[in-house]
Structure 1
């Protein structure tokens, strides 16, 4: 059983969208949920989360890889590249080469490493445009996982993540229900028994076209335009954010 978990990445791993004012950075997320389960099974368990929202793949690796290795983890989760895929131009092959080298360093330590594919955004107008990029990125991740013997959580295959009820209002980040789904998938890949259960949401409601348009306009005004503005100004949502768990520490129940 793992004793030292270090989670690396961007907003997905930090837990953005799963708001919890009582936690560091005001978010919980799937990684916290996984750590909570692992802590119940190992008295000496310790957990660090170095992920910061808005980080590009290169930033994740340059800022987080060395500190993670210094902690001598026996379990590492790594997801990066989603923010790169949203840029106007991206060299996915170059990203994959950096990713491959980082994963090699992690697996050489003997740690169990968990990687993730990107979500299939086929049912969302914004992410549908990125579907080809994401599919190429995912194939690279699968090859890297096979080459280095890592575990892989296939978010692309999780069709339940197409349901907008699992996403926060910004449509970019999972909400508490979505993060719980990912936590279940991670624990299942690790073959760790748990009592987490998927949300029983029932059939998705069919919204009138007028309501869909109104919601899309509100989303554009409240979330899309501010995001575009930050990009034009060269700003990131993570510019003033620090890792919420920068060092290995016990998990409070």
Structure 2
């Protein structure tokens, strides 16, 4: 066999392997992707990327959860350097990407910082040819009571983050889901309840199944999962939330003195 013919055979073999490789699912982001119950307990729930992966596998889809790197408290810059850049993202991969919420809560983090980091994050995903799964951040003021100055600041920056994520996801033909309201939130009103994780997994699975031309997986939340009312959240705030808000307020005061 000639050298040229052997090289051609090897090339065709590598190409065939790439064509039939499993679709990788990557879980990147902060506590919303990682699956914590609230900012006080940090107790773990089953996160929506895991539910999504299991559901897609149940249909016979050839998928594998390769990167599960989401971390509580991660900023967009940390998602880029600690999660996106070390990962091996390939064409057609699914990237679970919930990011930007912690940027709005950090006094040292400006919208320009977020814009630069998100641009790089989405640039890496786009260059790889992967599909991002993104979401709309909830408005802090709709979830928790607190000082008006803090709520206005967080809401304004959160709205800008939402605009950037929505536009970037659209450019990459991603799947973007709006925040449906407090019914899916846990006791702090911003992180998902376990039922909320099932909600997002079901929404993403339905859209991916339609794109891939496969059967829509059945995703049903187990019976008896807790549902948190506005009164539950007020009790949570009175017991825990005000301490969390004070830490943020002190952080902003210190930053203002610099």
TM-score of the superposed pair, with normalisation by structure 1: 0.69
In the TM superposition, residue 9 of structure 1 has moved relative to its aligned partner by 0.5
SS of the residue corresponding to residue 123 of structure 1 reads helix
Structure 1 pair 72–224 and aligned structure 2 pair: CA distance change class (3 A)? farther
Structure 1 pair 54–6 and aligned structure 2 pair: CA distance change class (3 A)? same
Match status 1:186 vs 2:204: yes
For 2:196 and 2:112, how far apart are their aligned partners in 1?
29
Deviates more, 1:224-233 or 1:178-187: 224-233
Match status 1:144 vs 2:144: no
Match status 1:112 vs 2:112: no
For 1:46 and 1:32, how far apart are their aligned partners in 2?
10
Structure 1 pair 229–132 and aligned structure 2 pair: CA distance change class (3 A)? closer
For 2:140 and 2:117, how far apart are their aligned partners in 1?
25
For 1:215 and 1:114, how far apart are their aligned partners in 2?
28
For 2:229 and 2:29, how far apart are their aligned partners in 1?
35
Which of the numbers 21, 24, 27 marks the counterpart of 1:7? 27
For 1:69 and 1:206, how far apart are their aligned partners in 2?
41
SS of the residue corresponding to residue 73 of structure 2 reads coil
Q: Deviations over 1:157-191 (max 9, x none)?
A: x2xx223xx32223331111111111122223324
Q: Deviations over 1:187-223 (max 9, x none)?
A: 233245121257999xx9997xxxx4x9635523324
SS of the residue corresponding to residue 158 of structure 2 reads helix
Q: Larger C-alpha radius of gyration, 1 or 2?
A: 2
Match status 1:32 vs 2:50: yes
Match status 1:16 vs 2:36: yes
SS of the residue corresponding to residue 190 of structure 1 reads helix
Q: Deviations over 1:128-173 (max 9, x none)?
A: 64332222211111222233x23132323x2xx223xx32223331
In the TM superposition, residue 95 of structure 1 has moved relative to its aligned partner by 0.8
Structure 1 pair 198–61 and aligned structure 2 pair: CA distance change class (3 A)? same
Structure 1 pair 64–71 and aligned structure 2 pair: CA distance change class (3 A)? farther
Runs (4+) of structure 1 exceeding 4 A deviation are 70-73, 197-201, 204-207, 226-233
In the TM superposition, residue 225 of structure 1 has moved relative to its aligned partner by 0.9
SS of the residue corresponding to residue 187 of structure 1 reads helix
Query: Aligned residues, how many?
Result: 214
For 1:97 and 1:7, how far apart are their aligned partners in 2?
21
Structure 1 pair 187–126 and aligned structure 2 pair: CA distance change class (3 A)? farther
For 1:42 and 1:199, how far apart are their aligned partners in 2?
22
TM-score of the superposed pair, with normalisation by structure 2: 0.68
In the TM superposition, residue 59 of structure 1 has moved relative to its aligned partner by 1.0
SS of the residue corresponding to residue 77 of structure 1 reads strand
- Higher RCO, Cα 8 Å, sep 6+: 1
Query: Residues 142 and 152 of structure 1 are in contact (CA less than 8 Å); yes or no, is this contact kept in structure 2?
Result: no
